[in-house]
Structure 1
Amino acid sequence: MNHATKTSIAALLASALLLATVACGNGAQNQSTPSTDTSQNTGVITVVASINQWGSLASEIGGDDVEVTSILTSTNVDAHDFEPKTSDLTALSKAEIVVANGAGYDTWATKSRGSESTLVSAAQIVGASDGDNPHLWFSKDARTGMAKELANTFSKARPELKKSFTERLKDWQEREKKLDLAMSNFADTHSDATYAATESVAYYLMSDMGVKDVTPTGYAQASANGGEVAPADLQEFQKLIEEKKASVVINNSQESSDATNMITGTAGKSDVSVVDVSEQMPEQYKTLLDWVSALMNNVIKAIDPKYNSASQSSGSTDGTTNGATDGQTSSDEGQNESDK
């Protein structure tokens, strides 16, 4: 075999070896693509919510395609001092999606979520920061934003189910619109309505209803900062109630103190209705809108018992404007009835 022939054979072998190497490389690349696809999460989406208010909304939007666990659900626990259990932290670390309130209300939840989880935060959606009023579930803007974000997040996690999430979102939005209309109609016809609050839990709810806050500044600041109320501020609050400058007193049923007991007692003696509002959603409610609607109707009944909220809206669905109470209606209602 001459030199030219040997050179040709060597060239052919080299080419063959190169082609084999490329082919092997392509084969490995082709195998990795399906591997990446199959590693994507499938099945029911595991969702852990820090509080049941947002957990119930996640359940509404997700339906049977999500499995939601809410950590803080009791109305007998002070949410601001809540300490999660080890099992709670474990659930957060393993969740595919974590739903939190933010604004300093549930920092333990955002700190404990897994590095691979997706966070949906009400505070981030509305631009609230630590130190702002954290009771965002009572804000129509926060509820609407969270519903949209949950639908989008679920759709990204399970693209094949996007239609279902979108349909549930539309159904929810229709119910929210009717609730918003009922609040707006009340605001239009009760521009002089006022309230004073033992704690700022219902700030957003009352704002959406157009009811003005007349809580004494000193008392409100002490309450917001967790400080002790000065005797002069407490006396000012009591005088305001006695003179009926507040149409209703809003009391946080999960924040009890000597000061709040004195205020609610003064309201009872002065024939001013007290509406108790808890921070966590009571167990008798299945959805956030049902609860907010019941609270709205409790406030309306306390301010104007003759006002029919249902007739002021364009209809109602799922009890959003049916005037149902939630067991947290004015604590002095029975006393007022007995006095008549």
Structure 2
Amino acid sequence: MTFSAKIGRVAAAAVAAVIMFSTAGCGSTASDGASAASSPSGDDVITVVASINQWGMLAKEIGGDKVDVVSILGTTNVDAHDFEPQTSDIAAISKASVLVVNGAGYDEWATKATTGAQSVVNAADTVGASDGDNPHLWFSSDARTAVAKEISEAYGKAAPSSKSYFSQRLATWTKSENELESNMAVFSKNHPGATYAATESVAYYLMSDLKFTDVTPQSYAQAMLNESEPAPADVQKIQKVLTSGEASLLINNPQEQSDMTAMVTKSADEAGVPMVDVTEQVPEGTTGLIAWMNSLISQFDKALTKDSNTDDATSQSTESSSPQPSDSSSTGTAESSGDSDQ
């Protein structure tokens, strides 16, 4: 069985688990309006607001039908770095019993409005990340695991009578996360020494978990992390990384497009470096964080495998086109040698 086939089977199992968890998916989004954050009927149903849909999905998976989850930012059409919440968004946050935020400077608009929440789960705090660190924590296995545990504990405090229910769901989710980590180990074994460059460091933690080596020029990466335009010299550096074959793969964040990133992706295309798009927000139709990670890993595997097969085909073609000694040449040499003996 191929690696991608194994990923597909695990992804299918993850989808089935999510459907079992709840047919409601990851809950409502901000487009439903602030009224969606009002507590539904039922003594044990907890009102939960997540600043972004990455953590909103996880909050729903752990909470099941005993939580009502609203994700304020839940579309790939919006740049999270430029997002400005509406008054209704802030009102929803203030009414939440449990608030799940990313932290690390990614969603300050949400962290500043946490005073009305009974319990706050801050992803950055769970792993010791702070402002200035890479804020895309949902791509980190350690962060997902820590946040899932914190969410379960927050739910248990908000609804003590359902504590065992949340613990069971956490255990089920943890099993799926462990299977994902096993897939990561298989991927790393199948692609030793894999390298990558990135137009923006959105998938840094995932690539680290997969044992990729980041060959993105540091000055370029730091400029993008600071949300500033890289200097022309830095752009030339990452283009050279691609054209020289130093990078096995290019990660592109389509939510951060510009003339500069277009130059980088063009260099990758011309150099034959495979490229995979990775967004910050969860793509529409995705059932959960684990399913999303498995999908990305499968895309990386296919890109690297295809690139490897292309290299092999090119090598074989080159070898077959190399001039070979002809029979007539060998015969002629032998005859010449024979004449000399005479």
TM-score (norm 2): 0.76
Unaligned runs of 5+ in 1: 1-40, 308-340
Residue identity in the other structure for 2:202: V
Whether the 8 Å CA contact 2:93–2:117 is kept in 1: the answer is no
The answer for the alignment partner of 1:185 in structure 2 is 186
Show CA shifts across 1:266-299 (max 9, x none). 1111111111111000121121111111111111
Larger helix fraction of residues: 2
SS at match of 1:304: helix
The answer for the alignment partner of 1:15 in structure 2 is none
Show CA shifts across 1:45-100 (max 9, x none). 00000000000000000000000000001101110110001110000011001000
Pair 1:140-2:141 in alignment = yes
The answer for the alignment partner of 2:331 in structure 1 is none
Distance 2:217 2:200 in 1: 11
Alignment of 1:95-114 (within 5 A): 95-114=96-115
Unaligned runs of 5+ in 2: 1-41, 309-342
Pair 1:288-2:289 in alignment = yes
The answer for the alignment partner of 2:199 in structure 1 is 198
Q: CA deviation at 1:304?
A: 2.1
Q: CA deviation at 1:188?
A: 2.8
SS at match of 2:197: strand
Whether the 8 Å CA contact 1:95–1:114 is kept in 2: the answer is no
SS at match of 1:48: strand
The answer for the alignment partner of 1:323 in structure 2 is none
Residue identity in the other structure for 1:75: T
Whether the 8 Å CA contact 1:94–1:114 is kept in 2: the answer is no
The answer for the alignment partner of 1:318 in structure 2 is none
SS at match of 2:100: strand
Residue identity in the other structure for 1:70: S
Whether the 8 Å CA contact 1:222–1:229 is kept in 2: the answer is yes
Q: CA deviation at 1:116?
A: 4.5
Change (3 A) 1:254 1:49: same
Show CA shifts across 1:109-132 (max 9, x none). 111124352100100100000000
Show CA shifts across 1:143-188 (max 9, x none). 0001111111111111111111111111101110111011112223
Q: CA deviation at 1:191?
A: 2.4
The answer for the alignment partner of 2:277 in structure 1 is 276
Pair 1:250-2:251 in alignment = yes
Whether the 8 Å CA contact 1:92–1:114 is kept in 2: the answer is no
Whether the 8 Å CA contact 1:219–1:229 is kept in 2: the answer is yes
Alignment of 1:229-268 (within 5 A): 229-268=230-269
Distance 1:107 1:155 in 2: 26
The answer for the alignment partner of 1:61 in structure 2 is 62
TM-score (norm 1): 0.76
Whether the 8 Å CA contact 2:95–2:116 is kept in 1: the answer is no
Q: CA deviation at 1:257?
A: 1.1
The answer for the alignment partner of 1:125 in structure 2 is 126
Question: Which structure is higher in RCO with an 8 Å CA cutoff and minimum separation 6?
Answer: 2
Q: Please tell me the root mean square deviation across aligned C-alpha atoms, in Å.
A: 1.5
- Rg larger for: 1
Show CA shifts across 1:252-277 (max 9, x none). 11111111101111111111111111
Whether the 8 Å CA contact 1:94–1:113 is kept in 2: the answer is no
The answer for the alignment partner of 1:163 in structure 2 is 164
Distance 1:257 1:142 in 2: 30
Change (3 A) 1:231 1:102: same
Residue identity in the other structure for 1:202: A
